[in-house]
Amino acid sequence: MKKIVALMLLTLGALSLAAPTVLAQAAAAAPAPKKEIKDQAEYSAYVAAIQQTDVNAKISGLEAFSQQYPNSVVKEDGLGQLLGAYQQANNGAKMADVAQRILVVNPNNMQALVIIAYLKKSGYAGSPADFPAARKFAEQGLVALPNYAKPEGASDDDYNKQKANFAQVLNNVAGFSAWQTKDCAAAQKYLRATVETNPNSLEDVYGLAVCSLPPSTPEDPVNGLFFIARAVNLSTDPKGKEQIQKFGHSKYMKYHGAEDGWKELLAQTANTPLPPAGFAITKYVPPTPEQQAADIVKAKQPKDMDFAEWELVLSEGKQEDKDKVWNAIKGQPLQMVGNVISVTPTKLQIAASVDDIEAKRMDIELTMTGPIPAKLMPKEATELQFGGVPDSYTPKPFVMTMVKGTLLTAAAPEKKAPVHAVHKKAH
């Protein structure tokens, strides 16, 4: 996980999510105690602690109060005050400790849930990120958030803004943590929620894009391509921007199959934070072998094709395409190169295309003009230069029957060199 976090820092640069500000709001948001402290000494100790203006003195007083009065009616409130003091002192480890102490008292305390979730995601005081725990606390916070009571004295506007900020942090933590633990279905749900409220967060937009693109499951490639293009626009770090663009362009080409539209998508996502209604990108559909054969016949004369192209047309093409090629090469003397599969004095089985050579599968049966002298007998699995005349063929599995076979000593024409069959190179 450390490598993943390091890569994210390199790729994403500074986060747009102002979580520390939200954490400060969370730590300071604990409501004033409404319970009545009946013991005068306990009351005096509590008031003295919370009224300290020096943060260290306040921490000391509240820690002492917590130990001296572990069952106080204001235990949760006192720990909330202590949480804010440790936040003021910038002590993440103590904030995490106090947040967990609060959750023992009240598992739905929003201040504690927001803070512990964020700290578990980010790591603190030398502690590594703990993504499963971060997600657990974030999801717990999202469940509790609808019932979060308005702090005493807060305006409706401030209360609603605070709830929105809490939701943003919790969705970010839950989504990022799900992404890092390879639960892309959950990551899509949480990150889409935070992107809709905070569309300029590079971390959230990039995470949503990655979790929506292959090989993530479940895939949402069209929206994934939109958000990866959006992430390119949001990145301000030159190196990170270049990495994201290369990644996005690669995914776009894989899905769409062509360059057209990529620049337009980058331009669209510069100022459009979410995919508009009806947004679509056409998926690349590779041509069928029959279509490839037709394209070859349209682009080349049979005499200019190589053996693999003849094989493709004669095995996969429409009848009119097969006839055009076969009528042009049948009965014509050819010089070729192939690998010997088997040999007798009068007949050779040869593989002439690279795919058939690799599979050790014959695609030419060559009948010689006469018996091959013993001293010239070719060896199996060796390359052979030969001549022959096409006489017939079987489409599938493809075999061309050639007659008037001869052994050659000079190199065959370059255009007849073995090549891969075109239809096996499709996307």
Q: Which domains does the chain have, with CATH numbers?
A: 289-425 (2.40.50.110)
> Mean pLDDT, the chain, as a whole number?
88
**DSSP 8-state secondary structure symbol assigned to residue 330:** T
**DSSP 8-state secondary structure symbol assigned to residue 353:** S
Tens-place pLDDT, residues 274-332: 999 999 999 988 899 999 999 999 999 999 999 999 999 999 999 999 999 999 999 99
Share of the chain above pLDDT 70, in %: 88
Give me the amino acid identity at 91. Answer: N
Tens-place pLDDT, residues 125-179: 778 999 999 999 999 999 999 999 998 889 999 999 999 999 999 999 999 999 9
Per-residue pLDDT band for 124 (boundaries 50, 70, 90) equals confident
Can you tell me whether residue 229 is helix, strand or coil? helix
Tens-place pLDDT, residues 31-79: 444 678 889 999 999 999 999 999 999 999 999 999 999 999 999 999 9
CA distance 381 to 378: 9
Where b means 16+ CB within 10 Å and e means fewer, 344-382 reads eeeebbbbbbbbbbeeeebbbbbebeeebeeeeebeeee
**372 Cβ partners below 8 Å, 6+ apart?**
343, 345, 346, 378, 407
Pick from 159, 56, 72, 157: nearest CA to 110: 159
308 Rama class: left (phi>0) / alpha (psi -120 to 50) / beta: alpha
